[in-house]
């Protein structure tokens, strides 16, 4: 027995109308075509589905069973279509978003919440990685997209700035430099520092600029989180360098001083990271537009 959705829709139209003629009209079929399809349906199932009467038709017991299951099947098809449309519109599914610590801690929460609230069937898996790791994974196709610092190499990907991510110096209130409003990196290279753990992309970035300046950082201790670094600095262990947004987050609690770094390399930005805008999934594209991303002209994006 092979009945397609069109057969089921036609049968329900006839059963509900109580007439082959009226049912054919509801299904937008000619009477002859509807009658022929009905004949083939009854032949396929091997039993009469309708009882013909002088003033119309009524369903047989087998016809009632078919009508019941036809309604279930068509309802399921409608539900499936609705769900697929949600997926196509980016309103359903699971989205994996990679982001560095600054983006996850400060940038994303207030911006992601209203966008996600409008999509109750969508889930997001946030994955914290260093900017270097995110760029590498996006470039080789292991991740669809992410949010990174502009300090990371952009080889193999495209970066779109969406927020400031400037680096600042933090110092204990009693430190001799605590009252300065701005400083250059070169002015503090002789000071003791609290750094981040081995493998930190930010710390590697800072260390490289110290190496270029000709004086490696005097790192008294390395910490595994920004908050732990802030605690150490507040107790006078050394100076620290971290994103401005992170410093603002912990300043009130730990009472350290924040000093602007005026070096060009410290004036970073948070960037959307992807290979090709037009190959992003619909939900990722929608999220990136919400975060400030700008769609590119179809000819402007290249899949490097």
pLDDT in tens, 132-147: 889 999 999 999 999 9
Contact 298, 278 (CB under 8 A): yes
Q: Which residues pair with 95 in a beta bridge?
A: 124
Point out the residues of the chain with pLDDT beneath 50. Answer: 91-92, 300-304
- Nearest Cα to 244, choosing from 132, 174, 163? 163
- What confidence score (pLDDT) does residue 16 get? 86
Instruction: Tell me the C-alpha to C-alpha distance, in Å, between residue 292 and each of 108, 163, 274, 284.
Output: 12, 9, 14, 12
Total number of domains in the chain: 3
Asked if residue 34 belongs to a domain, the reply is yes
- What confidence score (pLDDT) does residue 174 get? 95
Asked if residue 297 belongs to a domain, the reply is no
- What confidence score (pLDDT) does residue 303 get? 45
Query: Taking each helix axis from N to C terminus, what angle separates 5-17 and 31-45, rounded to the nearest 10 degrees?
Result: 110
Q: Are residues 113 and 247 in the same domain?
A: no
- Select from 86, 120, 152 the last residue of a domain: 86
- What confidence score (pLDDT) does residue 260 get? 96
SS3 content of the chain, % helix, strand, coil (to 5): 45, 25, 30
Asked if residue 302 belongs to a domain, the reply is no
CATH number for position 186? 3.40.190.10
Separation CA 18–CA 62 (nearest Å): 16
Asked if residue 304 belongs to a domain, the reply is no
- What confidence score (pLDDT) does residue 31 get? 87
Residue 53, H or E segment: strand 50-53
- What confidence score (pLDDT) does residue 35 get? 87
- What confidence score (pLDDT) does residue 93 get? 74
- What confidence score (pLDDT) does residue 99 get? 92
Q: Are residues 81 and 25 in the same domain?
A: yes
Q: Are residues 158 and 173 in the same domain?
A: no
Contacts of 64 (CB under 8 A, 6+ apart): none
CA atoms within a 13 Å half-sphere pointing along the CA-CB vector of 115: 19
Separation CA 203–CA 107 (nearest Å): 20
- What confidence score (pLDDT) does residue 302 get? 42
Q: Which domain holds residue 143?
A: 92-162+273-290
Q: Is 301 exposed, middle or buried (0-12, 13-18, 19+ CB in 10 A)?
A: middle
CATH number for position 79? 1.10.10.10
- Whether the model clears a pTM of 0.75, i.e. scores above it, the answer is no
Q: Are residues 193 and 145 in the same domain?
A: no
- What confidence score (pLDDT) does residue 168 get? 96
- What confidence score (pLDDT) does residue 84 get? 64
Asked if residue 38 belongs to a domain, the reply is yes
């Amino acid at each position: 027995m092979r009945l397609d959705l069109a057969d089921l829709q036609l049968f329900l139209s006839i059963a509900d109308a109580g007439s082959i003629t009226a049912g054919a009209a509801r299904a937008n079929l000619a009477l002859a075509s509807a009658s022929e399809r009905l004949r083939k349906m009854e032949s396929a199932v091997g039993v009469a589905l309708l009882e013909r009467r002088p003033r119309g038709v009524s369903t047989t017991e087998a016809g009632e069973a078919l009508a019941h299951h036809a309604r279930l099947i068509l309802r399921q098809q409608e539900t499936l279509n609705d769900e697929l449309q949600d997926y196509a519109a980016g309103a359903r599914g699971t989205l994996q978003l990679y982001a560095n610590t600054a983006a996850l801690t400060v940038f994303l929460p207030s911006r992601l919440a209203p966008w996600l609230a409008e999509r109750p069937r969508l889930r997001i898996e946030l994955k914290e990685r260093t900017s270097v790791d995110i760029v590498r994974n996006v470039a080789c196709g292991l991740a669809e997209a992410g949010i990174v610092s502009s300090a990371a190499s952009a080889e193999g990907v495209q970066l779109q700035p969406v927020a400031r991510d400037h680096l600042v110096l933090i110092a204990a209130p009693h430190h001799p430099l605590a009252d300065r409003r701005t400083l250059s990196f070169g002015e503090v290279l002789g000071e003791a520092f609290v750094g981040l753990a081995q493998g930190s992309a930010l710390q590697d970035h800072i260390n490289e600029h110290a190496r270029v300046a000709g004086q490696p950082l005097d790192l008294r201790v390395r910490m595994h989180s920004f908050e732990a670094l802030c605690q150490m600095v507040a107790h006078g262990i050394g100076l620290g360098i971290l994103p401005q947004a992170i410093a603002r987050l912990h300043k009130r609690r730990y009472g350290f001083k924040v000093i602007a770094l005026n070096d060009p390399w410290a004036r970073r930005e948070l960037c959307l990271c992807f290979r090709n805008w037009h190959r992003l999934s619909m939900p990722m594209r929608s999220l990136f537009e919400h975060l400030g991303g700008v769609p590119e002209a179809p000819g402007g994006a290249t899949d490097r």
